[in-house]
Amino acid sequence: MEKKEILEKVIKLYKDFGIKSVTMDDAARKLGISKKTLYQHFADKSEMVKEAIISELDNRRSSLAVLNDENNNAIQDLLNYFDTQINIILDYKPNFIYDLKKYYPGIYNTYVKIKRERILEGTKKNLEKGKKEGLYRKDLNVDIISRLLLMRIEGMIHSGIFSTQELLSPEVFKEIFYYHVYGIVSEKGRKYFEEHKDILKTK
């Protein structure tokens, strides 16, 4: 079994059972490989957790890549992003992040840093693209709007105002998505969005 496949299976185990609960012995047994083989790839559990998290972030990169598809306009990119993000929400496991933050704070901080950077980068590119196409407001400040979006996402998670159930609700995400879109579109963009928003599905 190659390292990439091991990481994919390990991240699923962490999501299903929590990071703390899955020992190296458990991982080897459930993956059907020897413990010796596992240790050939990872020095210890901490290293395996770190590499699994980086692998998960790389797999999620596609959810932001759709924000900048050269074959689509900026709003089409957002519509594709919506569908991708709904799948991520439906797959979200709160205990996975809780364990990461509590038992591996250093790795958690790396996870947050990389995630922030990618969200900001993807959002900025989409905003700049939409302005050039005339679909977003000409007076839109790309840097400020990008950081406001990130702040709103993190604020919702940590403020306690929304319950975990609400944060994992596709319907709540849809309202947040609409709030963002209507705040950035021009008249041309609004018209385009309203002509195409019916394709959005919350599963």
The whole-number pLDDT of residue 16 equals 92
Q: How confident is the model at residue 63 (pLDDT cuts 50, 70, 90)?
A: low
The pairs formed by 50-54 with CB atoms below 8 angstroms and a separation of 24 or more are: 50/104, 50/107, 50/110, 51/7, 52/7, 52/10, 52/11, 52/14, 53/11, 53/100, 53/107, 53/110, 53/111, 54/114
Rounded to two decimals, the pTM is: 0.89
The residue range of the domain holding 27 is: 3-199
- Tell me how crowded residue 74 is: count the other CB atoms within 10 A of its CB: 25
Is the CB of residue 150 less than 8 Å from the CB of residue 119?
yes
The whole-number pLDDT of residue 38 equals 94
The whole-number pLDDT of residue 10 equals 96
CATH of residue 108: 1.10.357.10
Tokens 């569908």, residue? Answer: 83
Cβ-in-10-Å burial (0-12, 13-18, 19+) of 168 comes to middle
Number of domains in the chain: 1
Q: How confident is the model at residue 60 (pLDDT cuts 50, 70, 90)?
A: confident
Q: How confident is the model at residue 89 (pLDDT cuts 50, 70, 90)?
A: confident
Q: How confident is the model at residue 62 (pLDDT cuts 50, 70, 90)?
A: low
Interval 177-202 mean pLDDT? 95
The whole-number pLDDT of residue 35 equals 93
Distance of CA 6 to the CA centre of its chain: 21
Residue type, 203: K
Q: How confident is the model at residue 59 (pLDDT cuts 50, 70, 90)?
A: confident
Q: How confident is the model at residue 64 (pLDDT cuts 50, 70, 90)?
A: low
pLDDT tens column, 136-183: 999 999 999 999 999 998 888 888 899 988 988 999 999 999 999 999
